[in-house]
Amino acid sequence: MMSDFRLTLDEGVAQSIREHAQEDYPHECCGALLGTEKDNERHVSAIVRLSNERTDERERRFFVSPQQVLMVERTASREGLLLLGFYHSHPDHPAIPSEYDRQHALPYYSYVIVSVQQGTPKELRSWRLRDDRTGFLEEVCRE
Whether the predicted pLDDT of 52 surpasses 70: yes
Q: What is the mean pLDDT of the chain?
A: 95
Q: 113 — phi, psi (to 5°)?
A: -125, 130
pLDDT band of residue 4 (cuts 50, 70, 90) is confident
Q: What's the pLDDT score for residue 1?
A: 66
Q: 86 — phi, psi (to 5°)?
A: -140, 160
pLDDT band of residue 118 (cuts 50, 70, 90) is very high
| Residue ranges covered by each domain of the chain | 2-142
Whether the predicted pLDDT of 137 surpasses 90: yes
Mind listing the pLDDT tens digit for each residue in 94-111? 999 999 999 999 999 999
Q: Which helix (H) or strand (E) holds 23?
A: helix 13-24
Architecture of the structural domain at 2-142: 3-Layer(aba) Sandwich (3.40)
Q: What is the CA radius of gyration of the chain?
A: 14
pTM (two decimals): 0.95
pLDDT band of residue 58 (cuts 50, 70, 90) is confident
In angstroms, the CA 126 to CA 97 distance is 9
